[in-house]
Amino acid sequence: MKSIKNILSNCHITITFFLMQHGICFLFLLISTATSVYSPSYIGKLIDSVQNMQYNNVIFYSKALILLTIIALIIEYWKANRYNYFEAKMNIASRQAIMQRITNTNADFWEKYSIGNLETLLDKDIPQFNSFLVSDVSNAVGNLLSFLGIAWYILRVNIKLGVVIIGLVIFFVVVQKIYTLPLNYKLQRMKEVETQTNTYSNDILNNIESYYLIDNVKSAFSLYAKSNKLLFEQFFKIKNHYQISLIISQSFNLISIIVILSVWILDSSINLSPGQLINVILYTQKLYVPLFKIGEVFLQYKSFCVVSNRLNLLVKIPLRNYGSKEVTSIQKIEITDLTKKIDTKVIFDKFNMSIHKGKILGITGENGSGKTTLIKLLRRFDVVYNGTITINDVDINELSQESLLKGISVMPQKATVSVDDIEEIACYVNNNELLNFLNLDEVPKKQVYNYTLKSGGELQKICFLKVFLENKDVLILDEPTASMDMKSEEIVGDLLAKIKWDKIIIIITHRKYLLSMCDEIITLNA
């Protein structure tokens, strides 16, 4: 219970809101259950009235049955509407809060969680968590009330017959439940095979040209075909399992009618009119589903506990902490005795670095030498535990988030842009130098976004211009020209040279031209 409260609290869902919405939904559930349980009783009364030629009663019961059916449908719609609204509000609030939390974590978090795990958490775990709290628990209560109401009606009609029917229902539900237990494992296995099959198909579609050139198409297709065949076999077995499970429930409908008629005929103490007999048969059919679904809640609860534990672990992960100090203009950055490990690997061992405004610092080194880690530390995405990083002689851990965002621009190695970025860049395409850089002399502004996605080089240009036009004190560029041609790289160099006097520029690169522009070069070793 504490973990559920903790998750709801971190998702900005108050207990007051949660209980109030549940109260409204439960009211609709209660009325819906009552009308659905009570309305079929009028069918038996209508049949007896027709048999006894009581036409006034026929008219009355017909009207009552129609009215109750309409009321039941309206109430059911309102109930579904309220539950959908409640669950949608929960999902939106939860996903937004969790996503906000994820985006405010540091590098330690991303060492523990993969993108696949987080996608599962956002797309499946959160809806499953909310569905259980909102719908599954309420449906269990509704099914329990429905089962008890129907059972009470049948027992009130005749205790002997009622006991036989309830016993029969319990027997068939238990049999069906036992039979369907292996389905969870089979479904999990099929999902694994489906994932593997999709991986093979995506691999072929994304690399078809390369596979064709190296004559690897047959081998890749063979893996896909084998996995696809296994997927079909798993799917066929599950469909058969479901079909037999359905036959068990359908068998109950037929056998229950035979049992009710047999007991009614053989036991002379059971004195039921045709209408009452029809009612008993109808209610018996309605008795099976509620009891079966009540059993399902216990299985859903097990899954809910697993999901709840995963979400609870996530909301306990500490967020990035920022200080409150401000810097208005960044004049220098100094790193002193920085020591950093990732797992057991030492990335930095008492590393020192200093750069002042008006300078360009070049950083080069092998893969895994700590170049990207250094960027993460300067942007506070990673945490400094040993050593210090200071900006204008202020410890980076004491600076506010606003100061870091306003003062430092980063161009990551993996170039990414949004539509907003493109629209912002498009406002500057009248500048001839930028037009030449982008090769957009004859391209209308509205086509800029699609144009830049044609190649990695064009995309990288847009990313560089975004950082360039932000005009912040510090520019950190990670392999900024890796996908550009030499002419474009020279333009980048010219643009940087023009703003160098008023900036701190850190370039991570292996390109000789850019390194030749640097005032100092640091080589990191893996």
Domain boundaries, the chain: 1-157+303-320, 159-271, 332-524
Ranges 87-91, 197-201, 412-416, 450-454, most confident: 87-91
Element (H, E) at 390: strand 386-391
Distance of alpha carbon 501 from alpha carbon 509, whole angstroms: 21
C-alpha distance from residue 160 to each of 154, 167, 271, 290, 501 (Å): 10, 11, 11, 22, 97
Tens digit of each residue's pLDDT (9 = 90 or more) over 477-526: 999 888 888 888 888 898 898 888 889 999 999 889 999 999 999 988 76
**Whole-number mean pLDDT of the chain?**
83
pLDDT band at 434 (very low <50, low <70, confident <90, very high): low
- 442-466 tens-digit pLDDT: 444 444 444 445 566 777 888 888 8
Question: Among 100-114, 168-182, 458-472, which stretch is predicted with the lowest mean pLDDT?
Answer: 100-114
Task: Assign 3-class secondary structure to 71-83.
Answer: HHHHHHHHHHHHH
The CATH number of the structural domain formed by 332-524 is 3.40.50.300
Residue 398 has pLDDT above 60, yes or no: yes
* Burial label, 515 (beta-carbon count in 10 A; 0-12, 13-18, 19+): middle
**Least confident segment among 202-216, 269-283, 368-382, 414-428:** 414-428
Of the listed ranges 40-54, 180-194, 205-219, 416-430, the one predicted with least confidence: 416-430
What is the average pLDDT across 148-170? 88
Write down the H helix ranges in 181-269: 183-206, 208-213, 217-266
Most confident of 50-59, 109-118, 411-420: 50-59
The answer to whether residue 433 scores a pLDDT higher than 60 is: no
pLDDT for the residue 378: 86
- Could you report the per-residue pLDDT of 358-380, keeping only the tens digit for each? 999 999 988 877 888 888 888 88
For the chain, give the percent of residues with pLDDT over 70. Answer: 90
Is residue 440 over pLDDT 70?
no
Residue 93: pLDDT over 80:
yes
The answer to whether residue 145 scores a pLDDT higher than 80 is yes
Would the pLDDT of 184 be above 80?
Answer: no
Distance CA 28, CA 22 (A): 10
Q: Mention every residue, 6+ apart, whose C-beta is less than 8 A from residue 66.
A: none
pLDDT of 78 > 60? The answer is yes
Mean per-residue pLDDT for 211-236?
Answer: 85
The strand ranges marked E within 405-493 are 408-411, 474-478
pLDDT band for position 308 (50/70/90)?
Answer: confident
Chain centroid to CA 54: 60
Residue 463 has what pLDDT?
A: 83
Determine the distance from the C-alpha atom of residue 269 to the mean position of all C-alpha atoms in its chain, rounded to a whole number. 60
- Identity of residue 361: L
Q: With a cut of 80, say whether residue 421 has pLDDT above it.
A: no
Closest CA to 102 of 317, 313, 312, 308: 317
More confidently predicted of 472 and 454: 472
pLDDT value of position 441: 45
Residue 202, Cβ density class (10 Å: 0-12 exposed, 13-18 middle, ≥19 buried): exposed
Q: Residues 176-193: what's their mean pLDDT? A: 83
Rounded CA gap, 440 and 448, in Å?
A: 8
Distance (Å, whole) CA 86 – CA 89: 5
Query: Which residue type occupies 461?
Result: K
